[in-house]
Structure 1
Amino acid sequence: MLRKSIDQDNEVLFAGHYPYLSHQNLGKREAMLGIGGNIGDVVRRFEHLFTFLNRSALVHIKETSPILKNPPFGYMDQEDFYNALIRIETDLTPKALLRYILKVEKRFGRKRLFKDGPRTLDIDIIFYENMSINDEKLTIPHPHWFERDSVLIPLAYLKGYPV
């Protein structure tokens, strides 16, 4: 695993399938998933998640960013977070994709103790095509993505996605 310090708070990790770039294009709808966690061996969990998603018939992984190790926000008395982005293609609608990723989180032992608290795995839909959705269950683009290092820094590393 290669580590690169960005500044006093943030470090980028190059490990396994992070980053990854597929040259296969299935011509489906494109979405950007943000993944994060800070409980247990998160880097290993991200690798398992990559393998799981890569075998799924519901999504095709187009690209992943390197993993960002960064400080928490909101509730500060916890370990640093690991975050990455996964660019996918899918035939799922945004709401069906949300249902799918919630099931994936549960399969991977998701534990979210309280808002902005420690968690084993969190998967968010950051973007879905150029859509805007704002209802009680789903907001796309993800709120405040443009203010978060956990999205902006990994996004800058993606080759197939214009920043």
Structure 2
Amino acid sequence: MAATGQVFLLLGSNLGDRPQVLAAAREAIGKQAGSIAGQSAIYETAPWGITDQPAFLNQVIEISTSLLPEDLLRIILNIEHDLGRVRYERWGARVIDIDILYFGQTVLDSARLTLPHPRIQDRRFVLAPLAEIAPAFLHPLLQKTSSQLLEECPDTSAVSKIP
């Protein structure tokens, strides 16, 4: 299978040495999943879901990969595990979280994976870094660009670019 461009991943960390964790995640993704074609700045963001926890650092990266979506998910879960991710509670604090936002224009709803990510349009911490590197990328179901989704996003939580 040929490499698929415009695969966007969200990286997040709110435990440990957050910048180092994101760097380690990027390195592992580049080695195991596909070449990194672009990356946003790093943003400090308020926690979402469970708000009584430390602030996150978030970043969106674009990769080019020859993997199928479910194979990419398996590798990402292994990377999270290798970096110390333990799943205690949904939306709880974590060393690393890697989400597949988009896999090109693929629409998929399987037992393990939903594409595009079902809550992109509801989360400013996703849309701010995504709109930075892919402002014109069109959501395959909503038919709106990243910039449009960010403008219309109902989430008002704090998202600040790290200088």
Q: Which bin holds the TM-score, normalised by the shorter protein? A: 0.7 to 0.9
Q: Which whole-Å CA distance do the structure 1 matches of 2:72 and 2:103 have between them?
A: 10
RMSD, aligned CA: 1.7
User: How far has the Cα of 1:112 moved from its partner?
Assistant: 2.7
When the two structures are superposed, what TM-score results if normalisation uses the length of structure 2? 0.78
From 116, 126, 132, the equivalent of 1:157 is 132
In proportion to residue count, which structure has more helix?
Answer: 2
The answer to whether residue 77 in structure 2 is matched with residue 99 in structure 1 is no
User: 1:37 Cα shift?
Assistant: 1.4
Q: CA 1:129/1:159 → structure 2, altered by over 3 Å: closer, same or farther?
A: closer
Q: Deviation of residue 76 (structure 1)? A: 1.2
2:104 to 112, 129, 134: 129
Find runs of 4+ consecutive structure 1 residues off by over 6 angstroms.
Answer: none
The alpha-carbon deviation at position 135 of structure 1 amounts to 1.8
- Sequence identity percentage: 33
- C-alpha distance in 2 between matches for 1:83 and 1:152: 11
Which whole-Å CA distance do the structure 2 matches of 1:99 and 1:132 have between them?
A: 18
State how far apart, in whole Å, the 1-side matches of 2:120 and 2:37 are.
Answer: 20
Q: Distance in 2 between matches of 1:150 and 1:75?
A: 14
**Pair 29,160 (structure 1): closer, same or farther in 2 beyond 3 Å:** farther
Quick check: which one's strand share is greater?
Answer: 1
Number of positions where the alignment pairs a residue of Structure 1 with one of Structure 2: 136
Specify which of 81, 85, 89 is matched with residue 114 of structure 1: 89
Contact 2:13–2:22 (CA<8 Å) still a contact in 1? no
Judge conservation of contact 2:80–2:97 (CA < 8 Å) in 1.
yes
Report the CA distance shift for 1:57/1:46 in structure 2 as closer, same or farther (over 3 A): closer
Residue 41 of structure 1, aligned match among 9, 13, 17: 17
Q: Is the 8 A contact 1:64 1:85 kept in 2?
A: yes
Would the aligned equivalents of 1:111 and 1:121 in 2 still touch at CA under 8 Å? no
2:63 aligned residue: 88
* Alignment correspondent of 2:141: none
- Give, in whole Å, the separation in 2 of the partners of 1:159 and 1:114: 31
Partner of 1:7: none
Stretches of structure 1 lacking an aligned partner (at least 5 in a row)? 1-26
Aligned partner of residue 78 in structure 2, secondary structure: helix
